[in-house]
Amino acid sequence: MEEKPKNLWKDVYNYQSHVTVSTSESEDVDEREVYMEDLEKRKQVYGICGECKEPGTGEYWCQSCNAKRFKDNFKNWTSGNKIIDEFIQQSQLNAVHIKKFLEWIPFEKFQNITYIAEGGFEWIRVKNCKCVLKSLKNSSNISSDFLNEIKSYLQIYLVDIIECYGITQDPNTREYMMVLYYCHNGDLRNYLNISEDYITYGEKIVKLRQIARGLLDIHNAGKVHKDFHSGNILFTGVPFISDLGMCQPANKEQTVKEEGIYGVLPYMAPEVLRGHQYTKAADIYSFGIMMNEFHSEEIPFNDIPHDEFLAMKICKGLRPKISEDIPKLLADLIMKCWDAEIKNRPTTKVLFKILDKWNNEINDRENRQNSEIYSQAIECDKIGEKNFENRSNENKSKNFQTHPQAIYTSRLLNYKNLPKQ
């Protein structure tokens, strides 16, 4: 009979739920600040291993002891591919956190597989746990793109990023797949569409703060997302950033290929459309578009074709309409995020701090009456609640109808000689 693993962890105080650490050499010193605790304190507060008596290096995690267990288990599994085996093994040997290692998961472990869309499947396993299987085309011949996306999940702190559990392989197509956390409320657009209750501005600020924190984690890891839009913001009850397929180092030199660039046109910064370097500021622009969509609950540019003419208008300064019924402070932040001038957009750190401050003010019951954002949110909620009550389900659905040439999935775009504002 297999011996039951013993509990190696003692209870600890000062539990820390979130840390962001930058690894980018190009960041300003300001940008390298750790928001909750520094890394050394993190090691001290997570606990003492009951076996080796060393401080943990992650949440309830002893890196050295677990690495030994993983290594001892290498002989019990194989993907059948040396590159995949070594990739998974390295993730296990180097894991410093419970969410920072991968597993090889045999395909026969999955049950009730249902096709969702190109790139993903849903499956249900024991205890009704749902996950998504995401495949990349031609991954039967292991590609750097496939491995690079998985590496991104290992390199970024995962509180607000979708977790990758491991890798599997479809026995029929021979394509490899990532096994990802499943969000039952779908993306931002679906979350808004299925909501049966009015979502207050206080609730929206809470969720925007979490999304901003996830983007900050990506940027503090020295990366840019490059495909940030509402379709890649997924919800359970809380939001998660997904799809790190285009995520890459922020300081990596890149040139726009002759065939064009990839993305969802309404969310792409004008400088990117013109073929310039993709920066963290371009992610902030996309955040502004998503933020306005969250508040207005209307899809950006949903009533017009997403073509070169729209790209030209965006470069000349066209932006989605901002509702008159949202708090002015939020409207001002949206406009700063999508400003045509990169230097006028807030950094991710500043964006997070603003939303964090507003969230604290709204939830401070004793002092929030003196808060400008709280006062504005309360007034706008009165209007929003009344509009929500008066809007039938039929009318609500109509708000989400789109032009047949409005495309909200990432695709190749190839526009030349776009104008400046």
Residue 138: predicted pLDDT: 67
Q: Are strands 239-241 and 233-235 parallel, antiparallel or unpaired?
A: antiparallel
Closest CA to 136 of 85, 191, 176: 176
- What tokens appear for 195 in the block? 């909501």
Q: What is the pLDDT of residue 91?
A: 94
Q: At 167, is the pLDDT very low, low, confident or very high (cuts 50, 70, 90)?
A: very high
Name beta bridge partners: 411: 263
User: Is residue 55 within 8 Å of 43, Cβ to Cβ?
Assistant: yes
pTM: 0.84
* Crossing angle for the helix pair 201-220 and 280-296, to the nearest 10 degrees: 160
Nearest to 227 by CA among 309, 287, 316: 287
Residue 387: the pLDDT is 87
Q: Which domains are seen in the chain, by residue range? A: 12-94 (no CATH), 105-181 (3.30.200.20), 187-413 (1.10.510.10)
Per-residue pLDDT of 8-41, as tens digits, reads 433 333 322 333 333 333 444 344 444 344 444 4
Least confident of 41-50, 184-193, 234-243, 367-376: 41-50
Residue 173 dihedral angles phi and psi, to the nearest 5°: -85, -20
345's CB contacts (< 8 A; 6+ apart) are 281, 284, 285, 288, 336, 337, 338, 339
Is pLDDT above 70 for 161?
yes
- Bridge-based pairing of strands 239-241 and 261-263 is unpaired
| pLDDT for residue 293 | 97
In one-letter notation, the amino acid at residue 129 is C
Average pLDDT estimate for 62-67:
86
Element (H, E) at 111: strand 111-117
Q: What confidence tens digit (pLDDT) does each residue in 87-117 have?
A: 999 999 998 877 889 999 999 888 878 776 5
Asked whether the predicted pLDDT for residue 86 surpasses 70, the reply is yes
Q: What local confidence, expressed as pLDDT, does residue 340 receive?
A: 96
